[in-house]
Amino acid sequence: MKKSNQLRKNNQLRYKNFTAVIGLEVHIELSTKSKMFCGCSADHFGRLPNTQVCPVCLGLPGALPYVNKEALLSTLKLGLAFGAQVNNFSKFDRKHYFYPDLPKGYQISQYDIPLSQGGKIGEIRIRRIHLEEDTAKLVHQTLDGKKVSLIDFNRSGVPLVELVTEPDFNDPKDVVGFVKEVQLIARYLGISSADMEKGSMRLEANVSVAKDAKVPDYKVELKNINSFKFLEKAIVLEIARQIKLITSGEAVVQETRGYDEAKGTTFSQRTKEEAQDYRYFPEPDIPPLRFSDELVKEISRSLPELPDQVRKHLISEYGVRADYSEIILADRKRVEFFEKAAGLGREENISPTLIAELMVNKNMDKDFPEATGLIKRILELTRRQYAKANAVEKAVKKVVRENQKPVNDYGQGKVAVLGFLIGLVQKELKGKGDSKMIKDLLVVELEK
């Protein structure tokens, strides 16, 4: 709470009395075996175009869709991970619009009763999470000197989750933090790779700027942003653009804008001054959905440990530094490795913070893919360190024993002889001693 107020304040300072208002729409492609409404493979990335298609996902007349249960369960899991309310009754609706990547003329989506509503990450409220089908992919190419657009239907009908937030963000940095957490949660749940590069996670940011606490009655939608870095940059640029317009007395046009990384600007793609009418109506070919309270409870119970629980665990139970714990928990496999190593280390008096340090700074979990390997290595290093210290200690004792004159001088306050004694110990160790260790042990011995 405090942190966000601080952010809001910083933001207002930065934006000279304007507050940025941002809401997100996040699309996540589910990694189910088959598509949303047919039996074709949903694993489409990098496949030969139009090889994973059938009458249903090609949108041929008369083809009948049937629902993928795994996709429903995955979407409910995601909602429950955010603490959302699952709707016991839900349904699919047809959303009509014309575009070459949508041959049916409508997308099967969900309108007024999404699978789940509500839920939060930190202070950001999630409005709804619904399930729909992905569209085909348009591939723009130059063929025989002509510009053509080709259609690949492998993606058509792949289950697509849409998560919509309330316009609760005021800082572009928080937006990135949020989407990273959504990505992590989807991965922990094992429902999607949520890779931005592969398009399995796609982001749209709605941006407006306010002079008071009210949410403005317009918004600009930023689309086709394919990295976290660009998302933040695009929002920052868009906020500045809008403030400039408003400050000079102009109105901001409600429109969809893209982001041009090379030019460092957002640019108009499509103005939509009136809301588009999709003529939604219930999908007549798919029976309504019912989810019992028992089923919802069962799914809740089956959820794995989520990133935030792991985060708390690493920090408060193991004492791992916050920045290190973020690096470890970014990959579920590293968390498992860490926990195993920490368990083994406990028996050998190896601290979990040392394990975390070696994993993050020295990448030691890569060198030793098994936790036991890492522990063995740490023990070996500690033993070698011991052996070294032993040798130095012996040499120090010998030098002190055999050089009474300088030792007495030191005792009488002539600390300058320390350098001379260090030299003798080095000679004893044939120059292989660590001078800091020699000095430390020598001082201990001299002050006995």
Q: Is 216 in the site for ligand ADP (CB under 6 A)?
A: yes
CB-nearer residue toward ligand ADP: 45 or 218: 218
What tokens does 383 get? 């033993």
- Sole binder of ligand ADP in the list 11, 18, 19, 24 (CB under 6 A): 24
Selection from ligand ADP, Zn ion, Mg ion, none that 57 binds (CB < 5 to 8 A by kind) is: Zn ion
Residue nearest to ligand ADP (CB): 23
Distance CA 234, CA 223 (A): 10
Least CB distance to ligand ADP at residue 121 (A): 14
Local structure of 258: helix, strand or coil: strand
Residue 34 per-residue DSSP state: B
Binding mask 147-186 for ligand ADP (x = CB under 6 A): -----------------xxxx-------------------
- Beta bridge partners of residue 128, listed in sequence order: 117, 164
Q: Is 446 in the site for ligand ADP (CB under 6 A)?
A: no
Distance CA 199, CA 27 (A): 9
What tokens does 75 get? 């979407």
Contacts of 83 (CB under 8 A, 6+ apart): 118, 119, 120
State whether the Cα torsion 286-291-296-299 is positive or negative.
negative
Residue 330 per-residue DSSP state: T
Binding mask 22-41 for Zn ion (x = CB under 5 A): ----------------x-x-
Chain residues 44-103 in contact with Zn ion, contact rule CB under 5 A: 54, 56-57
Selection from Mg ion, ligand ADP, Zn ion, none that 215 binds (CB < 5 to 8 A by kind) is: ligand ADP
CB-nearer residue toward ligand ADP: 212 or 294: 212
Contacts of 11 (CB under 8 A, 6+ apart): 19, 20, 170, 171
Neighbours of 102 (CB within 10 A): 17
What tokens does 180 get? 């990273």
Least CB distance to Zn ion at residue 156 (A): 8
Binding mask 49-78 for ligand ADP (x = CB under 6 A): ------------------------------
Q: What are phi and psi of 167, to 5 degrees?
A: -75, 65
Q: Is 283 in the site for Mg ion (CB under 5 A)?
A: no
- Sole binder of Mg ion in the list 93, 162, 232, 428 (CB under 5 A): 162
What residues make contact with Mg ion under the rule CB under 5 A? 162
What residues make contact with ligand ADP under the rule CB under 6 A? 21-25, 164-167, 206-208, 215-216, 219, 275
